[in-house]
Amino acid sequence: MTTSLTNENPHALHDVFPPDSVALVTGASRGIGAACALALAAAGCHLAITYRRKEEEAARIAEQIEQMGRQCLTFRLDVTDESQVTDIFRKTRQHYGRLDAAVLNSGITDDGHLATMSRTKWSSVIDTNLTGTFLCAREATKAMYSTGGSITMVASTSGVAGRPGQANYAASKGGIIAMVKTLAAEVAAKNVRVNAVAPGFIQTDMVAAVPKAAMAQALTHIPMGRLGQVHEVASAVTFLASPLASYITGKTLTIDGGMVNG
């Protein structure tokens, strides 16, 4: 199950952002992040996108964005490196003069049962998924503090309901959900909205690595009976990030075909 991306999103929201709006998307070389970047471009944003290793894939996403008539900056980023995070947000604002939306998507998995999980395996996931998201959210908040904007974090249904073998991942994503609630309350008066999406089983390279038997079992718990598509997550992210969701903050939207009831 590999992810095929084009700018042909059947659910795309077109031109819902004001002219010359700017969005930054982390982890945008493939999967959900890439789909979000393309959807935000269709919705009217110039982009700054980041990747960690997949330089060629990120370049292809940037090319598709530019084919839509938008600008796109591309940066290599390790979200656990505080100085890199600060520098990329600074460069984005220097180039565009503003930042209207940030989609914080970077994340990894390294599964294992808690009783036998090493400190290294725990820390690597927490550092990337939770601390990395915190660092990006902090810089996004600073960038929007005087102008307003939206921050959308990508959590997971594992952070809502838990999942065996994912203690580190579930803790990191549950932490993101808690951070959204707190940050939303802190910055609402500054016209900065903060929300999260919590995808379930979405057809990405990460889900493709799940053993077939385990995936077949997981599908029995999804009322819609199928995997989600990256463009279905991207459309929800674009809505939450855009002025269409101007009275929504502090919320987490599960995107999971009905798997989690809450």
**Complete edge-to-edge strand list for the sheet that includes strand 21-25:** 72-76, 45-51, 21-25, 101-104, 149-154, 192-199, 252-255
169 catalytic residue (yes or no)? yes
Separation of alpha carbons 22 and 39, rounded Å: 13
Which of 51, 96, 145, 169 is flagged as catalytic? Answer: 169
Contacts of 4 (CB under 8 A, 6+ apart): none
Write the secondary structure of the chain as one string of H (helix), E (strand) and C (coil): CCCCCCCCCCCCCCCCCCCCEEEEECCCCCHHHHHHHHHHHHCCEEEEEEECCCHHHHHHHHHHHHHCCCCEEEEECCCCCHHHHHHHHHHHHHHHCCCCEEEECCCCCCCECHHHCCHHHHHHHHHHHHHHHHHHHHHHHHHHCCCCEEEEEECCHHHHHCCCCEHHHHHHHHHHHHHHHHHHHHHHHHCEEEEEEEECCECCHHHHCCCHHHHHHHHCCCCCCCCECHHHHHHHHHHHHCHHHCCCCCCEEEECCCCCCC
CA-derived radius of gyration, the chain: 17
> Which residues are known catalytic residues?
169
